[in-house]
Amino acid sequence: MRTLSYSFKSLTNGHGKKLANALLHHAFPKRHQLLFAYDYRGPNVQRRTYSTPSFRCQDDWEKELKRTKCFGWTLNSSNNKFQLSTNLPQFIVIGSAVIDNQLRIAMQHFRNERLPTWCWSTVNGAALSRKSDVVDPSNLTQENAMLEIVRKSHPCLARPFIMDLTKILPSPKDVSQSFIKLRELCAPESTRQFWVQDNHFYSLLEKSKWLQYVSSCLGSAFETAYKLNGNTSVVLQERDGRDLCCVVSSLAQLMIDSYFRSIVGLQTLIQKEWVVMGHQFCTRLGHINNTDSLKSPLLLLFLDCVWQLLQQFPTKFEFTETYLTTLWDTSHISIFDTFLFDCEQDRHHATNDGTNPLILRSIWNWEEQFLDRDLIQFHNPLYNASNAKDELLKVSTEISCLNIWTQCYYRFLPTLEISNGGKPLEDIAIRTIINESVKHSKSSQKVCTPPNIGSFFPFTHWRSSTSVPPSTLTISSLSLNTSDFQMETSLVEITEHL
């Protein structure tokens, strides 16, 4: 937990009262319409350097089907205006053999109408799909019929492998309890508590089970990717089909498809597998103050798994750990709609509200938050797009091969920060070497080392005579600047999550 302090000495009379009222109104809303996004009317930056498909239109899905050379599956628009399901998007990809009438009947037999829907395909025709459990376990007629259609979608008519994630992975409640223990370990209330916990760090870490859950998700994803690579279709099954299905499906695609290892690719993956497929972001991230809802940081679990991949394959990904940490932070800013809803229907209703329609602001428009020099930190200097190729990443999933994501979890613990050392200095050194080797290139930039930066830079700063990093830095600060947008954002976001 990080505490932010603000000075009101330069404000005119009455502004402090307005701020206090705004905090009371927006900080812990009881209703979705009380979120700050509904009242914020600042300009919407539309530069779209990182252009990401929304998958709310037919064209986006068709491009993805074409990119993967999908066979045996077709785009279906029967859920237009959410006529068949309030939990699914208006466009879904289903087996080509399914007809509309059969689709309507089958949906009624699956929890949240989540019959097998397409996620991704290999060039050989093996497909990854996901579904929920059936409503009545004693009646499997429709489930068997849908699985038979999945089998027929394979060029060799091979039976798909069914992976029941409910039986092998933690539940959202388990993940929530694990995160609470991890947070207590990584965010002690005092220095004294830190040193007490430090004496039993590994035992406390083991009791949290966080790395165990990371290992389990990576293991299930690798098994999925391995079978797909071996030309076997895989169907992921989960109770509601919108939690761990998102995690495993996304990780498997990262392991086997190099496109998703780029920045735009990862954003496309999250948009496709999490946002439009109805992961309950509003509930799981706790945007609404509701004691009856189950908060569970499944997005963080996924990002932690991605970070583990980045450590094992440092040249295979375009993005950096700073990008992943920033993505987690931004998911809690209630200005952007990307992670604000539980399903697409809720987003549709919010934007078409006659009294106070929501202005959609995509989290992927990073220019709305950061300067160009800051966005450079999102790019891995070791990544070469021209060398990217589709190959199965042979991931080590054992707990002994995993690490604690120090930047994300420890960045607000000054005791653990290394002055003038750590990953930021390594990145600067790498960028310097690269720039020197291509100094005649038009894209080369001057790089100089900022004074007294620590291992958690850019999220923290060591005190120095030079408080502002030089403008020539290739790596610069992602801290809040003084633009109106960031100031308004920071005033209403009074708590920061790990």
The pLDDT tens digits of the residues spanning 67-92 come to 999 999 999 999 999 999 999 999 99
In a domain? residue 310: yes
3-state SS class at 307: helix
Q: State yes or no: pLDDT of 310 exceeds 80.
A: yes
More confident residue, 330 or 293: 330
Residue 448 forms part of a structural domain:
no
Residues 6+ apart with CB under 8 A from 134: 109, 110, 111, 140, 142, 143
Query: pLDDT-derived band of residue 158, with 50, 70 and 90 as boundaries?
Result: very high
The amino acid at 416: L
pLDDT higher than 90, residue 490:
no
The yes-or-no verdict on residue 491 having pLDDT over 60 is: no
Rg (CA), the chain: 23
Q: Is the pLDDT of residue 481 over 50?
A: no
- % of the chain surpassing 90 pLDDT: 63
Res 480: pLDDT: 30
Looking at beta carbons, which pairs linking 423-431 to residues 24 or more positions away fall under 8 Å? 423/321, 423/455, 424/453, 424/454, 424/455, 424/457, 424/458, 424/475, 425/449, 425/453, 427/320, 427/381, 427/475, 428/474, 428/475, 430/381, 430/382, 431/381, 431/474, 431/475
Q: Alpha-carbon distance 225 to 255, whole Å?
A: 7
Q: Residue 352 above 80 pLDDT?
A: yes
Domain total of the chain? 1
Structural domain that includes position 386: 30-55+162-170+209-435
Q: What is the pLDDT of residue 483?
A: 34
CA distance 71 to 1: 48
In a domain, 363, yes or no: yes
Q: Kindly report the CA angle at 9 between 3 and 12, in degrees rounded to 5?
A: 120
Residue 100 pLDDT exceeds 60: yes
Is 424 or 267 the better-scoring residue by pLDDT? 267
300 in a structural domain: yes
DSSP 109-142: TBGGG---EEEEE-TTS-EEEEEE-BS-TT--HH
Write the DSSP assignment of 410-451 as a string of letters: HTT-GGGPPBT-SHHHHHHHHHHHHHHHTTTSTT-----PPT
Mean pLDDT confidence for 229-238: 98
Most confident of 40-44, 328-332, 471-475: 328-332
Q: What is the pLDDT of residue 234?
A: 99
Is 102 part of a structural domain of the chain?
A: no
Q: What is the pLDDT of residue 485?
A: 34
Q: Is residue 63 part of a domain?
A: no
Answer yes or no: is 426 within a domain. yes
The pTM score is 0.88
Position 490 in a domain: no
